[in-house]
Amino acid sequence: QALVMAGGGGTRLWPLSRTDRPKQLLRLLGDRSLFQMALDRLQPWLPVDHIHVAAPADLVPALRAQAPSLASEAFLVEPSPKGTAAVIALAALQLSRTHPESVMLCLTADHHIGNPDRLRALLEAAVDVAETGSLVTLGIPATSPDTGYGYIERGESIGVFRGVEAFRARAFKEKPNLELAEKYVGDGLHTWNSGMFVWRVDRVLEAFRRWMPDLASILSEIEPALGTPSESEVLESVWPRIRPETIDFGLMERADNVAVLPATDLMWADIGSWDRLHELRHPDADGNVLETRAWLAIDSKRSMVLARDREERQKPKLVALLGVEDLVIVDTHDALLVCRRDRAADVRLLVDRLRELGMDTYLVWEP
């Protein structure tokens, strides 16, 4: 049973990503949205009724519109965002009622995976590891000292599963400074944390009861109402008491039975900033990515321009670059972003400031 986690605001991709139209709903790498691409990777492999989607209530209508093949009951609706730990625990609780012996795949809706066949092979191996009782995560081989990712340190080998060697996870380490990141890449023992997990439903619920007892206690109040007419009412009543927490901090860093599979050849990328998106595009000879109807660039290199109008104008707006390097320029109907590529990860600071100034209308796509 697959759970595609489709929440999140994508604030670092503002002004294209907004609260009512976050990055997973956007077509950033072709004709399909990131969310649709995540489903595409699963549907040739899993029956459609084995695919579930978790998202906040306000995003569910847009997600349903992009996934007409999924039944309405496939959507697990969060009354409000409480972090990945709560939504995964709730999904596991629901699956324990309908599919108590199942293995649960927790996957993302906003990552790029260039080799989906490899992903499916890795997930099959991860299912075999999970059947032994381990909580399994996929680790991405670290190719650079990136300070924007969490890292997983691997320990001893626990065996080979379908040709993939699995290791005991020794430690989870959140976004390090550059010196530590360089050390992690150099020692060959660390992988990036992909945010993808595989486990038996009964084992992960047992882990929640042991390592996050407060969350497990609150969800135990919801369990009797699952599948009954009072489910929504009980969920709305109990959910606000949950303390927000990520699955990494709340569970994976504490559990003592975590396994990691190095996810080689996956061609994976977390599209978390404009700079990372630039790396996935096909730049011209000067390293520029220019996605706009009319542009002119002279003596300009390694920059990205995205200009998207709501309406096609007879005379498109011309974007002209002269003597600039390493810029991100994103032009929408109501906002224009200009920043250096090396500051792209800090775009969320602009979003925070807009909220502080009461300029929230610029955080939604629809005024």
Instruction: Kindly report, residue by residue over 22-81, the tens digit of the pLDDT.
Output: 999 999 988 999 999 999 999 889 999 999 999 998 899 999 999 999 998 899 998 888
- Report the pLDDT value the prediction gives residue 309, as an integer from 0 to 100: 62
User: Directed axis angle between helix 116-131 and helix 34-42, to 10°?
Assistant: 60
Instruction: Kindly report, residue by residue over 258-301, the tens digit of the pLDDT.
Output: 999 999 999 998 888 898 888 888 899 999 999 888 899 999 99
Residue 226, both tokens: 């699952």
Residue 22, both tokens: 């976050």
- Report the pLDDT value the prediction gives residue 308, as an integer from 0 to 100: 74
User: Residue 47: is the preceding peptide bond cis (ω within 30°)?
Assistant: no
The Cα 342–Cα 326 span in angstroms is: 8
Q: Counting beta carbons within 10 angstroms of the beta carbon of residue 336, is it exposed (0 to 12), middle (13 to 18) or buried (19 or more)?
A: exposed
Long-range contacts of 216-222 (CB under 8 A, 24+ apart): 216/89, 218/242, 219/89, 219/90, 219/93, 222/90, 222/93
Cα torsion 234, 232, 209, 242: sign: negative
Judged by phi (left if over 0) then psi (alpha if -120 to 50, else beta), residue 244 lies in beta
- The total number of residues shown for the chain amounts to 367
Distances from the Cα of 164 to the Cαs of 124, 126, 153, 200, in angstroms? 10, 9, 17, 19
Residue 351, both tokens: 């979003």
**Contact between 321 and 307 (Cβ < 8 Å):** no
In the three-class reduction of DSSP (H, G, I as helix; E, B as strand; rest coil), residue 194 is classed as strand
- Report the pLDDT value the prediction gives residue 54, as an integer from 0 to 100: 95
Q: For the chain, list residues with pLDDT below 70.
A: 309-313, 367
CA end-to-end distance (rounded Å), the chain: 38
Distances from the Cα of 320 to the Cαs of 38, 277, 302, 323, 330, in angstroms? 35, 21, 14, 10, 13
In the three-class reduction of DSSP (H, G, I as helix; E, B as strand; rest coil), residue 248 is classed as helix
Give the residue from 316, 366, 309 showing the smallest Cα distance to 332: 309
Judged by phi (left if over 0) then psi (alpha if -120 to 50, else beta), residue 70 lies in beta
pTM above 0.85, yes or no: yes
What Rg value do the Cα atoms of the chain yield, rounded? 21
Counting residues of the chain whose pLDDT is more than 70, the rounded percentage is: 98
φ/ψ of residue 127, rounded to 5? -60, -40
What are the residue ranges of helices labelled H in the chain? Answer: 34-42, 60-66, 84-98, 116-131, 178-187, 201-211, 213-222, 231-238, 247, 274-280, 347-356
Give the residue from 94, 122, 82, 106 showing the smallest Cα distance to 242: 82
The Cα 128–Cα 161 span in angstroms is: 7
Q: Counting beta carbons within 10 angstroms of the beta carbon of residue 73, is it exposed (0 to 12), middle (13 to 18) or buried (19 or more)?
A: exposed
The Cα 145–Cα 127 span in angstroms is: 30
- Report the pLDDT value the prediction gives residue 137, as an integer from 0 to 100: 95
